[in-house]
Structure 1
Amino acid sequence: MFKVDAIAAFNDNYIWCISNTETHDAWVVDPGDAAPVLETLQRERLTLRGILITHHHGDHVGGVSRLLESADIPVYAPKNSPFQGASHYLEDGDTLVLPGLTFHVLAVPGHTLDHIAYYCPQLDDAPAVFCGDTLFACGCGRLFEGQPAQMQASLAKLVALPDATRVYCAHEYTLANVRFARAVLPEDQALLAFENACRKKRDAGQPTLPVTLGNEKQLNPFLRWGDNDLIQSAKTYAGAQGLAFSPDQAASIFAVIRSWKDRF
């Protein structure tokens, strides 16, 4: 009944279009640019019924005003956000009910302080989470506003979701993220296999997304704070860089890996 399609925007953004295949109603997540959304709606003969925003950055909200010129529709966004163009503001624990869909709102600050994610327990045949720039395939968002412990706690919220959850993040960063992950864990054969599979998809012009949360738990260095190999790698890097490191604290492990990625 429902499907999710990636609308490419800018250099590497994805605007996610959730559509009902029977009614042809659609909702878009993080429309940073209106033009590709309007083109998709026209081509697929879809009627836009609403907009979901994860955080206030321009590449996620820049197309909202133009989309509202052609449709009187609700815009859902984080409460206490610099983005003030919404009709409905959401916070942690809220439930957003759309025709045929229910989303649970998770506060996931770190990349920005206002960041939220939308978790749907059943979107077509699997759970789905639209997580903006908090979690990427084999990566996570840069900390523009939050602190490492805050971001690690936000990622822990996402890790707690079912392994079958499809992760719809907002950027095609996968191959770059995997290159870093392999620098952290050069002997990890699963990362090598994932890199090869993703390269084939990109060579064919296909998105590497969505990924499943279960796979991310096995591959993503920002989620593997309990992995002994990852901890040892973080310890070695922290020592070389003179960084504080507590191997028994997830936030400390995360902070070192995030610092490493920032300098990579």
Structure 2
Amino acid sequence: MNVREAATALLGTTSERSPLSEEWPELDVDTAYAIQAEALRQRRARGETLVGLKLGLTSRAKQERMGIDAPLLAWLTDAMVLPAGVPVPRLIHPRAEPELVFVMRDRLAGPGVTAATALAAVDRVYGGVEIIDSRYADYRFTLPDAVADNGSSAYFSVGPVGLPPASLDLSLEAALLEVDGQIVDTATGAAVQGHPAEALALAANALGARGLAVEPGWIVLTGGMTDAVPLRSGSRVAAHFSHLGSITLSG
């Protein structure tokens, strides 16, 4: 298997499959990012537009489980945007997680980006919900598998309230995660690398090492604030933020 074959295989998967690493034992993170980039190329060739990026595995607990000390990056396209009120399309085994979402005003290029310079480049902050959906059976994968699979990305929805970052204490901005009327989890922005601006800085510096940058107008999903919860058919998941409104999605 090569990079192009792996990207094509992942894009064509509509049901659970075994991790790439089981077929490609020498798969490493750098090769996985090459697979991710090839998949993005194919998606753009079929008409999708790049609109931003997401960070995954931003919580300390998730990083410890995966044996890493930094988040992974993945791409967002316009085909992944889920408008308010639209049911989540059928997926393999979708899960939902609340996130703080940045919309960029300025270009942000590493190396040397700090949380302060990162936050200064943000135009607005929103609440959001990401729908993740690993193609791998039972969400069983290595870090390279997850990177190649574009961070288990599927869809995302951005809430109705956008505020300047200076008007919020993002480390204290809270989210309540509700499933079918019951609050199942809660967290603050501090769950995302200590502060979501730290996650943005990490993204800018990691992209800089690859000759890329966070671009103006991009949407940046900074990472799940809580653990992701299953989104079952007929169920309803809502995220309620302290100052950024609420988002409700139905399975």
TM-score tier by shorter-chain length is under 0.3
TM-score of the superposed pair, with normalisation by structure 1: 0.26
Please identify which structure carries the higher helix content. Answer: 1
TM-score of the superposed pair, with normalisation by structure 2: 0.27
Please identify which structure carries the higher strand content. Answer: 2
Q: Which has the larger radius of gyration?
A: 1
